[in-house]
Amino acid sequence: MNLILFIAALIISFIVVRIGAIAFELTGLEWSLANFQSLSCFTGTGFTTKEAELITGSPQRRKIASTLMILGHAGLVTLIATFANSLRPATIIPKFTIPFLRAIVPSSLLPWINLVTIVSVVYAIYKVFTHVKSATRLTDFLRARIVKNEVVKPVSFEELLIATGGYGASSIGICKDSPVLNKTLLELKLKQHDIIVLVVERGEQTIPNPASDTRILLGDKLVCFGKLENIRNQLYA
């Protein structure tokens, strides 16, 4: 029974980490960073300062991270407890009425059989979840369910990188509710907020270092550099 619980907890842990990565991605993080941060939150390791700013600066991401941390602690306790109990004799081979079984398998070997079984199961689960096609199908399925049930609402704001002091580069998609729609860069007065628009992507057209009279249109994507808090407040309010 403990072995079954261990396997179930392990599978659930993999799924939870994947759901967390998808949730982070939907909030605008790049996939590899979202996956790493999900694993970091769940395990409580590897949460670096610069990348942590991407999580702490967003209420939605903080909520996701908090949930992952809580589930991670619960999952870790469950895995440790079930793993320890799985190594006890007569865990895999229970006290069924099989006349010749105990004569073939001495009780002293049962913990080792359990351990080999656990290692094999962990390896098999790892291979399944890291297989490209299987992982892609699972990710697509989970993403569709998350979006459909509005567990996490997708955003059009992506923080591309973090520099020191809270500065970084961001990509902002302009939607119909955007506060900067149909305004020129001069009207936005972004330089007063220490924000520089590096590129305006308009369909297949790329406008580098746009002029101050460039008007922001629906569907544009702005790549900006500046203090991330100011970018969020001024361009993604």
What are 181-207's pLDDT values in tens digits? 899 999 999 888 889 999 998 888 899
- Is the model's pTM score more than 0.75? no
Domain boundaries, the chain: 2-148, 157-235
Dump pLDDT digits (tens) for 19-44: 999 888 877 777 777 888 888 888 88
Dump pLDDT digits (tens) for 40-94: 888 887 655 566 666 776 777 888 888 998 998 888 888 888 777 776 655 444 5
Burial letters for 106-117: b for 16+ Cβ neighbours within 10 Å, e otherwise?
Answer: eeeebbeebeeb
pLDDT at 110: 67
Q: What is the Cβ-side half-sphere exposure of residue 188, based on CA atoms within 13 angstroms? A: 28
* Sign of the CA dihedral running 137, 140, 142, 148: negative
pLDDT at 95: 46
Q: Partners of 184 in the beta sheet?
A: 215
Beta strands in the chain (DSSP E): 157-162, 167-173, 195-202, 205-208, 221-227
Q: What is the CATH number of domain 157-235?
A: 3.30.70.1450
Q: What is the rounded CA–CA span in Å between residue 228 and residue 195? A: 9
Say which amino acid occupies 178.
S
pLDDT at 144: 83
Q: What is the DSSP string of 189-205?
A: TGGGGTEEEEEEEETTE
